[in-house]
Every structure is written in structure tokens, then in C-alpha cells.
Amino acid sequence: MRFKNLLIIIFIFSIGTRISAQTWVVPDDQKAVVAPFKFTPDMQKQGEQLYQKNCQSCHGIPGKDNWAKLTPPPGDLSKEKAQKQTDGEMFYRITTGKVPMPEFRNILSEDDRWWVIAYLRSYNPKYVQPNPVAKAAFTGRTVALALKYSDPMKKIVVTATEQLKDGRSGLAAGVEVMLFVKRYFGSMQVGDVKTTNARGEAVFEFPADLPGNKDGYVEVSARVNDPKGVMKTTPATANLGIALPTDKPSLTASRAWWSTRGNAPIWILLTYTLSVIIVWGFIIYIVISILKIRKLSRG
């Protein structure tokens, strides 16, 4: 019996240490990141508004230690524990988040995130901003796509053009392109990833039996395959009348049990209504019986 208790205690402790062991590690190169501009009082004011909208619900008013009681505790960001981080650490943590803190990558722009940091640093009299380092100019490829249906070939030709260093534009070879067709829910990829040739072209076979709208139109789009995000790319979209005309009604147009309430199948409506009537009938029957019993006991 004692042994079993010991096991339980060890188990609980091991869970506790597992949770606390999930520290929030910031990669060294990210720690060293500094803001691309000098913080100004104006930026701090902007940052204050962004903070009130996006952070205050959890972190509380700076200096008041009135943060939300969450696990792990968010803490007051004006206090030593948070302030001893580098700007790069703060920026990384705001960008990436950590449950329950959301990632602000797509909520706040990079400038917004730096302004929030500028605001939080205004609570730290010891803070001296490291020299700003302007963001390096973009050196990757800038590629724009265009797409058209080639009638004699019966294929879709995607052409990639590229902004060259001297300001002119030229055909872009060696660019990976993906083709999509818009469907009910999201997009469907057509064929594999293709690489543009010396004329900047990638040619896609279009499936002959792909259903379109009632006039045979589908929305086709081409995107550059750039998972590492090293290029600046512009996708291309076109409405092409090259698919099979289909007159299929929408998924929710007729009675079906995945449809809207008004379009539920009759048998579901009947079963539901009937069961409600039976349950209520039973309740009313019981109430009447109780009343009858009371009357009998009085009389």
C-alpha cells in the first residue's frame, strides 16, 4: 500500500517536471536580432495602443502586476524577468507565441511588433537600445506569373517573368510552378510541380473531365513553389471556359442531413417532432397523475 502511494507521488512529480521543463528557447541568432530603427516616443505611443488591444488581456497593465491567472503565468512584461531579455528574444517570442499565447506573426506587422517592444522598454529606466540595423535589401528573385490556355496544344501555359537587377524584366527559367483549380472547399492541385524552361514557360496538361460551372468555367490559378520564402512572387488567376459544363445543384440545395435546418430530410423532422411530443406528453401525464394523487389524499 505504501509502495503504491510512493509510485503515485513519483508519477505526479514527473508530470510536474515535464510541464515546467518545456522552456521557451530562443535560437542564438534570433537573440541577437535588433530593431531596424531607433525607438521614438511616437512609436511607443503606437505600441501602447497595440499592447492594449493585443496583449493586455493576458499580461495586464504594465507595472500593475495584474496579469491573467494562466498556466504558465504570463507575468508583467515591465518587470525584471521579462525586461532582462534581449530585444531579439522579445521579438521572437511575440512572433512565434507559445500556448496559450498566440503567435503574432500574421496579426501584427514587423513594425507593429517593434513598436510594442519600444512601449514595453519605456518602463525600463536601465534600457539602452542597441544600435539599429536596417534590414538587408532583398536579394532574391522577384517573379510574376501569367497563365493562359493554349488552344492548339489544349494545355495551360504558365509564363514566369522576372525583375532583373538592372530594372528590366526578363523570362524566368528554373522557377517551380504549381497549378490549382478552385473547388467547393479550397483549391485542388492539377498535376505535379513543373519547372519553367528557358522561355520561362511551364506547361500543364488540363484534365479533360474536370467539372466546371454550368457554362464550363473554372477558376485556375498558378503559384510559385517557394516553401522557404526566398522569392517575391505574384500568382496568376484566370477564369477559363475549358471544363465540363455541369449543372449540379449546390450541396445544400436539396433535403439532406448535412444541409441547413430548413432543408433537413422529412424523416429527421418527423422523428424529432414525434420524440419531443412523446417526452412532453409523458411529463404532462406525470404532473396530472401527481395532482390526482394529491386530490385523492385530501379527499
* Contact indicator for 220, 173 with CB cutoff of 8 Å: no
In the complex with ligand HEC, the residue whose CB is nearer, 77 or 222, is 77
The span from the CA of 57 to the CA of 67, in Å, is 8
x/- site string to ligand HEC, residues 36 to 55, per CB under 6 A? Answer: ------------------xx
User: Nearer to ligand HEC by C-beta: 21 or 266?
Assistant: 21
Look at phi and psi of residue 259 and say left if phi exceeds 0, alpha if psi is from -120 to 50, else beta: beta
The end-to-end CA distance of the chain, in Å, is 62
CB of 89 to ligand HEC, least distance (A): 7
Question: Among residues 4 and 69, whose Cβ is nearest to ligand HEC?
Answer: 69
What is the CA 226 to chain-centroid distance, rounded? 18
Window contacting ligand HEC (CB under 6 A); options: 73-81, 153-161, 261-269, 284-292: 73-81
What CA–CA distance (Å, rounded) separates 115 from 47?
4
CB 200 within 8 A of CB 171: yes
Closer to ligand HEC by Cβ: residue 117 or 218? 117
Q: Which amino acid is at 180?
A: F
- Binder to ligand HEC among 33, 43, 116, 181 (CB under 6 A)? 116
Contacts with ligand HEC, 1-40, as mask; x by CB under 6 A: -----------------------x----------------
Q: Is 74 in the site for ligand HEC (CB under 6 A)?
A: yes
The dihedral region occupied by 246, where left means phi > 0, alpha psi between -120 and 50, and beta the remainder, is beta
Written as one letter, the residue type at 272 is Y
Write out the residues near ligand HEC by the rule CB under 6 A: 24, 54-55, 57-59, 70, 72, 74-75, 77, 81-82, 85, 90, 93-94, 98, 100-102, 104, 116
